[in-house]
Amino acid sequence: MLFDTPASRNPIDRQKVIGKPTDRIDGPLKVTGNAPYAYERHDVVPNQAYGYILGSSIATGRIRSMDVSKAKQAPGVIDVVSTLDYEPAPLGPQNTANLFGGAKIDHYHQAIALVVAETFEEARAAANLIEVDYKRNDGTFDLEAQADSADYAKGPEGEDLVERHGDFDKAFESAEVTTDATYRTPAETHAMMEPHATIANWDGDKLTVWTSNQMIQWGKRDLANALKIPQEKVRLDSPFLGGGFGSKLFIRSDVVIAAIGARQSGRPVKVALQRPLIANNTTHRPATIQRIRLGASKDGRLTAIAHESTSGNLPGGKPEEAVNQTKVFYAGAHRKVALRLAELNMPEGNAMRAPGEAPGLMALEIAMDEMAEKLGMDPVEFRIVNDTQVDPMDPDRPFSRRNFVECLRQGAEAFGWDKRSATPGKTVDGDWLVGMGMAAGYRGNILMKSAARVRLGKDGVVSVETDMTDIGTGTYTILAQTAAEMMGLPLEKVKVTLGDSDFPISAGSGGQWGANNSTAGVYAACVKLREQAAEKVGLDPQKANFTNGRIHLGNKSVPLTEATADGELVGEDAIEYADVDKKYQQATFASHFVQMSVNRFTGVPRIDRMVAVCSAGRILNPKAARSQVIGAMTMGAGAALMEHLAVDTRFGFFVNHDLANYEVPVHADIPHQEVTFIDDVDPYSSPMKAKGVGELGLCGVGAAIANAIYNATGIRTRDYPITLENHLGRLA
């Protein structure tokens, strides 16, 4: 199905199932421990052996030699796989760091060996017996030290990643009011509950991996490439993921080395990355240094905007695109955005929930707060004044739907923003300084081809098959809701099977594109199924109506099961997009409001209240969407107040590489969170008229917290995380 014109009225608009707050159909499996996660797939193949990965203890250099003889002789050991016995595995287009093979070390905890044994404990013990002789090289590990010499990052054609519109320098110089400040965000790790894990099994020359992966077809392609075998010889199966946040978008060393270990040992092998290797061996959100300059007229209208961000990565890696939102979020005729990239011998920096916008808005929305204060304007009204209904970098390209101002107004009213003291440090409640802060959220809407297959059985049950994944977001439920709505059935008459690379290729889970595109793919397949079913019972497919388990047209009404009298019907199709997203800028918007208290004597910050209002097209399942947003708000609180991968700048690794020392919010840190969705649909997004919310809910939260702390204390902090050390010595 080609989506090349705005969606008109269709069966989804009935909203008998879609749009209802629906319990997750996979919920009972998860709360009873029956959801089959990758490492727990004990039933898929017998005689599984355990693998344990040994990571490099240097950050850059070479392995001179590796003695595995003691490990091979250890109790229970079946085999030992050494990186020295293999050439480096070819990388997929999204991978940067070497996944396995060769003597060269690119980063700390690079996978250099795998011990395969009868038990996990035996594999772990034997891994400690491997003796490695390294030649350590001097490396660069400190972004701050490299920032001044960092060159512009390069685009796909080798061009400098600098974009301009108008004449920023001239406009900034002549602006009546200006701000110029630098903001810093630290490296962060994904910290998902389920580790990267894989079970690998060879059947002749065919490989099956039961793994934890967000993008099944990317994984199939890249694993086949890494092993130098045809794609048709590889199958990935990933029906459930215990979180990913972007670190499982691309294959990591666990799946490559499990496959190699299984082939070398002749046994199915299961591997789970140890928690330290998740921080150092996989990917992380890179740290950033962001300089933002704003120029405005005295009436509060922005005239000049510049946002330049510096981040670091391995050679060949990409920058953290923290300037993404600044290109298009606010009005302003003159702007410049630029990305610089320093080469570091640190683990790979790559996608983490809302890459670009999440760290970018942590800086931009403080800068907007600072400018509002200089202008003597309310921060909400300042943003309203600078709203735009067109892409500022391309004024001939309007937004498809932009309800940003409504998000601001509804959020301010729900939060009680009018009670905020505009003078920082003036509101006191006993031992606590109390402040209110707000920030805006923006995340682009990405359109991707997505396919599905739907079957109508003789029992009247519709089965949905697609390689789409559910990373804890509620995908099973919204796909079932889509099929139920399209076929006129109750939810219990729909069965959804996900995550198998033998199924039609979906958009996958990532970039906030999963919900809209995957449901649109199911919509397209159901259109095919409806056509077949209607024709089978002699009705016009273009006019027939599917409701209450029946097909209706005029005075004729027949049970849906009548269409399967001769056997099962199968519909398969994909949603494909023309240039609708080229003609219209598509995005989602939010406002975040936070009340913070800071102890006058200890400096400890405390979140009191959080309110978010989101505009993201049709909300397919309000219950799951709210869950996504409150989870994102919690993640934003962590980024603002505690999350920070500490770098050992002598030896090049993340020191706090476990869940004991990498702090994330717990229940006591987070109060009740209020989430509201703007009642809106976007006919330019897909036949579903929906968009994603899972990353939008994170965008802007950190800055709202930072601005609230400033309002409470009068102390402006531009470096994250904002711990008590930032302001304790400056409290009155």
φ and ψ of 559, to 5 deg: -65, 145
- Name the β-bridge partners of 613: 591, 676
Residue 506 and residue 467 in contact, taking contact as beta carbons nearer than 8 Å: yes
Sheet containing 545-547: give its strands across.
545-547, 550-553, 556-559
Residue 71 and residue 124 in contact, taking contact as beta carbons nearer than 8 Å: no
E strands, 31-156, are 49-55, 61-67, 77-82, 104-105, 111-117, 131-136, 151-152
Residue 404 tokens read as 């940003």
Residue 528 tokens read as 């095919």
Q: What is the CA radius of gyration of the chain?
A: 27
**Residue showing tokens 């994330």:** 664
571 vs 546: CA distance, rounded Å = 16
Residue 183 and residue 310 in contact, taking contact as beta carbons nearer than 8 Å: no
**CA end-to-end distance (rounded Å), the chain:** 64
Cα torsion 690, 694, 697, 698 to 10°: value is -140
Burial 597-627 (b: 16+ CB within 10 A, else e): bbbbeebebbbbbbbbbbbbbbbbbeebbbb
Q: Which of 396, 394, 368 has the alpha carbon at shortest distance from 383?
A: 368
Provide DSSP, 405-450.
Answer: HHHHHHHHHHHTGGG--SSTT--EETTEEEEEEEEEEEEE-----E
Burial 236-274 (b: 16+ CB within 10 A, else e): bbbbbbbbbbbbbbbbbbbbbbbbbbbbbbebbbbbbbb
CB atoms near residue 352 (< 10 Å): 27
Residue 329 and residue 440 in contact, taking contact as beta carbons nearer than 8 Å: yes
Residue 89 and residue 102 in contact, taking contact as beta carbons nearer than 8 Å: no
- CA 261, 267, 268, 273 dihedral sign is negative
Residue 685 and residue 400 in contact, taking contact as beta carbons nearer than 8 Å: yes
224 vs 269: CA distance, rounded Å = 18
CB atoms near residue 164 (< 10 Å): 14
**Which positions ≥6 away from 506 have C-beta within 8 Å?**
216, 217, 450, 451, 452, 466, 467, 468, 517, 518, 521
Residue 322 tokens read as 């923290």
Residue 37 and residue 272 in contact, taking contact as beta carbons nearer than 8 Å: no
Of residues 308, 492, 695, 725, which has the active-site annotation?
A: 695
Which DSSP state fits 138? Answer: P
Residue 615 and residue 676 in contact, taking contact as beta carbons nearer than 8 Å: no
86 vs 650: CA distance, rounded Å = 30
Longest distance between any two alpha carbons in the chain, whole Å: 83
Residue 533 burial (CB < 10 Å; 0-12/13-18/19+)? buried
Specify whether 695 is catalytic: yes
Instruction: Give CA 59 to chain center in angstroms.
Output: 27
φ and ψ of 491, to 5 deg: -60, -35
Residue 474 tokens read as 């509620």
Annotated active-site positions, please? 695
